[in-house]
Chain A
Amino acid sequence: MSESAVSIQALHWAIKGRSVLQGITTEVRPGDVVGVIGKNGAGKTTLLETMLGFSPPASGSARIFGEDCRNLSEAVKMRIGFVPQQDELLPTLTGTHQISLTSSFYSTWDSALVDRLAREWEVPLDRRANVLSGGERQKLSTLLALGNRPDLLVLDEPVASLDPLARRRFLQQLLEVAGDAQRAVIFSTHIVSDLERVANRIWIIKDGRLLWDGETDNLKQSVRRLHIRARRPLPSELGLRGVLSSRRAPDNMTATVTVRDLGEADLQAAAARMEAHIESEGLGLEDIFLEIHA
C-alpha cells in the first residue's frame, strides 16, 4: 500500500472564537486529483494552508508524506508545490528572476519543463511581475510550483483569472505534468465544470465541515433529485433518508426532494408509503453543489 500524500485527522482551526475548520478528517493518496469546492468563506483556503503548515491547527493533525505539518523536513518540502490564492511574486522581479530565485532552493529543478511550459502558456518571462496581468501572474506562480516536479501539488483557485480557453488548456497540461499515479494534486475552485473535467475526487466543504469526500462519479450517482407526485396530500414528514433540500407545491400533492445515498429499495418503499409516483433524476455537479447549499 502506497504512502499517503496527505493525512488529516479531526483538524480544527479557529480565529477570534470562530471555528473555520471543524474536525476535518480525510486522506489523499498518490494518483488522486482532488477538487475542493465550497462557498466563499467555507474554509477551503484555510484547509489547504493549515494542511501545509502555514497555520498551526487548533487541534487535530495534518501529515504530509507522514510528517507533521508543523515540522516538515526539507526532504518533504522538496516534494511539495503550492500555488497560493493570492500570488506571492516579488513585484519588481522579472519572471526569469523569479524562476532563478525559486530554483535556488531545490536540488532537483526541471528547467527544461519550466521553459517548455512558459512557452506553451505564453508567460512573458522578461517582464516584471507588477506589470503582468492577473492570469499571467497565476501562470507564473504555477510554473514556480511545478519546477521541482512535486509529488504533492496544491493549488488554491489556480484558474480564477484565466479565460475559458486558457483555463481548459492550462488544466489539461497541468494534469499531464503533475497528475500521474505517483503524484497527488489538490486544487480548489469555484468553477464546477473544471471539477467534472479534471478531478477524480471531490471535497465539498460547508461551514468548515467536509460534507462530501469521495469520487466524483460516486457523488453524481449518490445524489438524486426526486419528483414526487401523490394522489393524496403528502405527509408533513416524507420519511426519506439523506434529504439535502425539499420543495413542495402549494397544494401539497407534489414535491421535489434532493436526496443523497438513497437506494432503489428505499425509493420503492417510500413510493408505496406515500402512494405516490416518484421519478428520479441524476444531477450534474453544479446542481448538486446548489442543492447542498440550498
Chain B
Amino acid sequence: MRDRPQRGEKRGLGTAFAALLGLVTLWPAQLLARPTVAVLYDPAQVPHVRFIAAFEEALAREARNARLELRPLGDSRPLPEVAAVVAVGYEALSTALEGRRPVVAALVPRVSLETAVARAARRLAPEGDVTGVYLDQPPRRTMRLVRLVLPGARELGVLLGPTSVRLRRELERAAHTQGFRLHTTEVNPGESAPRAAETLLDEVEALLAVPDPLVYNRYTLHGILLAAYHHHVPMFGFSRAYVQAGALAAVYSEPQDLAPTVARLCARAMRRRPLPAPVYPEIFRVSVNRHVARSLGAFVPGEPELLRELKRSEEEPR
C-alpha cells in the first residue's frame, strides 16, 4: 500500500466526498493498472531462488508497475487475476499449465517444455499462451563450441535417449552446418548408457552430451566419462558441473542469465501483446576443464575468447 497516491487535504465535505468517490472509482482501475505476475517455484531449490532474485530486478526494469506474487509449489490457494504465470522448473510448469494463462516457463529444457505442453494441450490450452526460455542451449551453439575447441574434428557422437531423440533432426542440421558428421546411438530404457557409449566412441572424435535423464544421470556419467576419456574422446557437457566432473567444455546458462528474457516475455504479456514461441537462452557462458584439456593434449582457447567467438558467430546472418 505504500505507493497508493496521497490524497488528503481537508477542504470540506465536498472535497472529501469527491475524494471518496474518486477512491471508489479509481481503486479497481488502480488494481488493473498494476498487473500481477505470479511466480510458481520450489523454495527448496537453490537455482529457483537464484533465478527469482534476478527476475525481480529484471522485471522491475521491464515493467515498473508490475507486482510479483511468489507462490511456492504446494500452495493451493487460487491465484488472483494475473498478467502472466512464471513457472520455474518442470514441476511448476506442469502445475501452471493446469491453471491460469499465459504461462512463461523458466528453467525447463526444451524437450520437457514440449512434453508438458503436449500433455496439457489435450485438456485445455489454446495455443500461443505458453512461452518461455529453454534451459538447454541451441544445438547450433553447442556445435559451434565443439568446432571452436576442435577445429579439425569431423566425427561427432551423440547419445540419445527416449526424450532427447526428438532433437535428432535439429542436431543433424546443426552438425551439418558446422561440418560434422553426426553419429547417434539410441539408449533404450533398460539399456546401459556407458555400454552404448563404448560402441559409439569407437567411431567419433568428440562426444556431445544432450540432457536426457535416461542417458546422463549421476550414475551413468561416471562410466560414460571414463569410457570417453579412455578413448581419447573429449566430452562436451551441458553444465558447469559436467565440466567439473571431467567434460572438456560446456556452454550453459546460469539461472540468473535467463531472468532478463523471462522478464521481457512477461512485460509483453502485461501489454497483452501476442507471445512468441519459447526461445533459447540469450545469455550464456562457457566453461573449460583445463586439466582435461592438457591431459588430452587439446589446445583450447581461453573461456573469454570462446565466448566472444560464439557471440560473434550468432550475430552473423545465418
Do the two chains bind?
A: no
**Chain B residues near A (Cβ < 8 Å):** none
